[in-house]
Structure formats: structure tokens, C-alpha cells
């Protein structure tokens, strides 16, 4: 009997060690990215925007979500997909290679890092590669392919990385998990890759295959809610806040809706529609409500405060992770922000009637001449 108890204690002890010591975070990004039909070098037909470009019933290209897991200084990317490790066989075309994964670590819109997914050099991590596009590969063939992604601001689909500098080797494994998605691809980046916090927050793009038939784009944010169970200890300030923010002291202070249908306080609806009412989403830099835009036009106001001692030349605002069908116009685009001053931005959202009800994780980023000043994560809720 004693030995059973002893074994139990030992097992508990072994299991509990990483739980206590590891700082673990995850970010789960469902595939909501649509891709536009192209043929030769032109938009195909009506230029449909679809999740996956394939003959009806064929799901070989379907990717459903991408998770990113951080554990201390290690990073693992997990892709839920039907894509086969050797590529995808399509009748009439033959083998279509997998797309390489594009990463934008500094979130400046330039995917300066690549993880090779094609079998020939799978796992190679390249810095500043040359990106080949779906159009480079399929633009001369007459086959229909994904020519653009991001319906709100269409971008060329990039799929094949070459050149650049080899900066590491990731371990890439296909794990069979069932049917649709058939696989989870575990991409384990080199141990300690995040020791300089470069991989804390990043944008990614994966076309699934070289034709970008299922484009998946998103932002992985390390400060997303920790994965249960077990709840990890709260992050230390060094892990959560990049140094630049502490130094620059430029913060997103308020985010108010100006034509909200209702006003909510302490989670309760307390007033009837009134265009002069304000729904306060961010107050004094803290998220106090989810962001629930009305369908159609939604106006809002956002304020950024410079608590530091230095003038910031051109402070801009960006919304990341907005679901397809929500676009935002920020006015002015950028503005000078002197020390101890507040800049106010007018926001105009266009919210499509057809967006599915649900909760979408988004983030608001304030950035400028000194890099990213502040990032606030919140939830956009459609009812
Ligand atoms: Ca997609
Ligand atoms: Ca998909
Ligand atoms: Ca970049």
C-alpha cells in the first residue's frame, strides 16, 4: 500500500514540476481568411472570395485553424489541416506542393521570415527570403488559384520562399487526428528561439498549397488568455510588455463608440438607443467591455496619450484580426503627439450584415517612429 502512495506522490510530483515552473501561453486563430479566385493573371469570373478554392466536395486543401503555443522561450505552431505531407494530388494537375509558411515578426506588413513546408527542405527557417507567389506558379497555366487574400485590403498570395539566410531548423511532424481536419502539423521551433521575445507577437500567412487554395492569415499574440488547464502564473512585466512600451510610455487610453444602440455599465444594459450615448470599451487603458459594433456604420473615437517626455512624430492606429466583413477607417491616419498630450482619432467601421454571430479576438496597436507603443487585446462580439 505504501509503495502505491509513494508512486502516486512521485507521479504527481513529476507532473506538477512543469506546471509550476513553465510560463505557458497559447493563441488559437481559426481560419476566417478568404481567398479570391484568379486564373492566368486575372481575377476569375466574378472574383469570388472563398475559404477554399476547390471543386465542390474536395476538401484536400482545407485548413481550419492555427494554434501557437509558447512555453518559456520555446514556440510551437500547430496547423489543423487536411493537407498531406507529400503535397496534394489534384486530378488533371498532378502533385501540388505545400506552401511555405510566412511569418512577420515585427508586424510591419513584410513577411521577413519563412518556415519551409515543402519536403525538400522542410523545417528550414529563412530570414529575408525571396517570396514566390501563386501567380508565379499558376499564372500561366489556366488553372484557377487563389490570387489574393484579405478581402478588406487584398494582398498577393505568397507561397514559396527561396534565398535569404538559414537561421534555424524547425521540427515538423504530421499527427493524424481524425477526419476533416485529418492532421495536426506540429511545427516545433528551435529550443529557446524566443529568448529575445521576438516571437511574442507575430503575423502569419499560410496558403496551405502553392495555389493558395486555402489561405490562412492571422496574428498570434502571446498575451492571449492562457490555455486551461492548468492556469499558468501571471506573466512578469518583462514577458508581457516589450521594453519599448515602458520606455516610450505612449498608451491607448480610451475607445468609445459614439453611435452605440445601447449603453452598458457593469455588464447591464441601462439605457435605450440614443445617438449621443457612448459605449465605453477602453477606459484609462483598461478593457472594460467587449466591442459590439452595430451592423452597417459604426462610429467610434480612440485616444492615445503620450505620458513620456518626447514628442512622437507620427503616431498611428491599427486594428488587427478584424473578421472578414469588418473594415475600419482611421482619421487622421497619423498624428504628431507631443509629451503629456492626448491624440484623438475618429474611427469609422463598416460592418457587413452577413458576418456570423460570434466572438472574434482582435487587437488595437498604437505604433509610430519608435516601433509598437501599445497593444490592447479585446473581443469583438457580433450578435
Ligand atoms: Ca481560408
Ligand atoms: Ca479553411
Ligand atoms: Ca516584418
Residue 292 inside a domain? The answer is: yes
Q: Which of 25-34, 229-238, 251-260, 277-286 has the weakest average pLDDT?
A: 229-238
Ligand nearest to the CA of 131: 3
Same domain, 36 and 177: yes
| Model confidence band, residue 226 (pLDDT cutoffs 50, 70, 90) | very low
219 alpha carbon – ligand 1 mean position (Å)? 14
| Model confidence band, residue 234 (pLDDT cutoffs 50, 70, 90) | low
Indicate which CATH number applies to the domain containing 287.
Answer: 2.60.40.10
363 alpha carbon – ligand 1 mean position (Å)? 20
Same domain, 216 and 262: no
Q: Cell 457593469: give the residue.
A: 266
**Around ion ligand 3, which residues have CB less than 5 A away?**
104, 106, 108, 110, 112
Q: Which pLDDT score, from 0 to 100, does residue 273 have?
A: 43
| Model confidence band, residue 231 (pLDDT cutoffs 50, 70, 90) | low
Residue 7 inside a domain? The answer is: no
Same domain, 246 and 150: no
CA atoms within 13 A on the CB side of 16: 6
Residue 56 inside a domain? The answer is: yes
Summarize pLDDT for 93-102 with one digit per residue, the tens.
899 999 999 9
Summarize pLDDT for 32-60 with one digit per residue, the tens.
999 999 999 999 999 999 999 887 788 99
Q: Where is the domain boundary, 221, 249, 270? A: 221
Domain span holding position 263 = 241-382
Same domain, 210 and 63: yes
Q: Where is the domain boundary, 193, 221, 249? A: 221
Same domain, 254 and 207: no
Summarize pLDDT for 350-380 with one digit per residue, the tens.
999 888 888 899 999 998 876 888 899 999 9
Number of structural domains in the chain? 2
53 alpha carbon – ligand 3 mean position (Å)? 28
58 alpha carbon – ligand 2 mean position (Å)? 12
* Contacts (Cβ under 8 Å, ≥6 apart) of 100: 114, 115, 116, 117, 118, 159, 160, 161
Same domain, 180 and 97: yes
Q: Which pLDDT score, from 0 to 100, does residue 249 have?
A: 82
Closest CA to 324 of 351, 303, 297, 344: 351
Reading the block at residue 103, the C-alpha cell is 511569418
Torsion angles phi and psi, residue 284, rounded to 5:
50, 35
203 alpha carbon – ligand 2 mean position (Å)? 18
Q: Which pLDDT score, from 0 to 100, does residue 240 have?
A: 45
Residue 269 inside a domain? The answer is: yes
* Statement: residue 246 has pLDDT above 60: no
204 alpha carbon – ligand 1 mean position (Å)? 13
Same domain, 298 and 160: no
Amino acid at each position: 500500500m505504501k509503495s502505491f502512495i509513494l508512486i502516486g506522490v512521485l507521479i504527481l510530483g513529476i507532473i506538477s514540476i512543469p506546471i509550476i515552473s513553465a510560463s505557458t501561453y497559447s493563441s488559437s486563430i481559426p481560419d476566417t481568411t478568404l481567398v479570391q479566385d484568379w486564373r492566368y493573371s486575372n481575377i476569375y469570373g466574378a472574383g469570388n472570395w472563398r475559404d477554399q478554392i476547390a471543386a465542390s466536395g474536395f476538401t484536400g486543401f482545407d485548413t481550419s485553424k492555427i494554434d501557437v503555443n509558447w512555453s518559456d522561450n520555446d514556440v510551437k505552431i500547430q496547423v489543423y489541416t487536411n493537407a498531406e505531407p507529400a503535397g496534394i494530388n489534384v486530378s488533371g494537375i498532378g502533385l501540388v506542393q505545400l506552401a511555405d509558411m510566412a511569418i512577420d515578426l515585427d508586424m510591419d506588413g513584410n513577411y521577413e521570415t519563412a518556415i519551409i513546408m515543402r519536403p525538400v527542405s522542410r523545417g528550414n527557417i529563412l530570414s529575408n527570403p525571396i517570396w514566390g507567389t501563386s501567380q508565379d506558379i499558376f499564372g500561366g497555366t489556366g488553372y484557377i488559384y487563389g490570387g489574393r487574400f484579405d478581402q478588406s485590403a487584398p494582398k498577393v498570395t505568397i507561397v514559396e520562399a527561396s534565398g535569404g539566410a538559414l537561421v534555424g531548423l524547425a521540427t515538423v511532424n504530421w499527427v493524424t487526428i481524425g477526419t476533416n481536419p485529418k492532421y495536426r502539423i506540429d511545427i516545433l521551433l528551435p529550443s529557446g528561439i524566443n529568448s529575445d521575445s521576438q516571437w511574442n507577437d507575430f503575423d502569419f500567412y499560410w496558403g496551405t498549397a502553392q495555389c493558395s487554395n486555402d489561405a490562412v492569415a492571422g496574428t498570434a499574440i502571446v498575451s492571449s488568455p492562457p490555455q486551461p488547464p492548468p492556469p499558468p502564473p501571471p506573466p512578469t512585466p518583462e514577458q508581457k510588455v516589450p521594453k519599448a512600451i515602458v520606455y516610450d510610455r505612449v498608451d491607448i487610453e480610451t475607445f468609445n463608440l459614439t453611435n452605440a444602440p445601447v449603453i452598458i455599465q457593469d455588464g447591464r444594459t441601462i439605457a435605450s438607443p440614443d445617438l449621443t450615448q457612448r459605449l465605453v470599451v477602453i477606459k484609462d487603458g483598461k478593457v472594460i467591455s467587449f466591442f459590439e459594433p452595430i451592423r452597417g456604420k459604426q462610429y467610434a473615437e480612440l485616444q492615445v496619450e503620450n505620458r513620456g517626455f518626447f514628442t512622437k512624430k507620427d503616431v498611428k492606429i491599427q486594428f488587427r484580426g478584424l473578421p472578414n466583413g469588418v473594415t475600419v477607417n482611421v482619421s487622421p491616419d497619423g498624428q504628431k503627439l507631443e509629451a503629456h498630450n492626448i491624440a484623438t482619432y475618429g474611427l469609422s467601421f463598416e460592418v457587413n450584415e452577413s458576418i456570423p454571430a460570434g466572438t472574434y479576438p482582435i487587437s488595437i496597436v498604437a505604433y509610430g517612429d519608435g516601433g509598437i507603443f501599445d497593444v490592447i487585446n479585446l473581443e469583438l462580439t457580433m450578435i
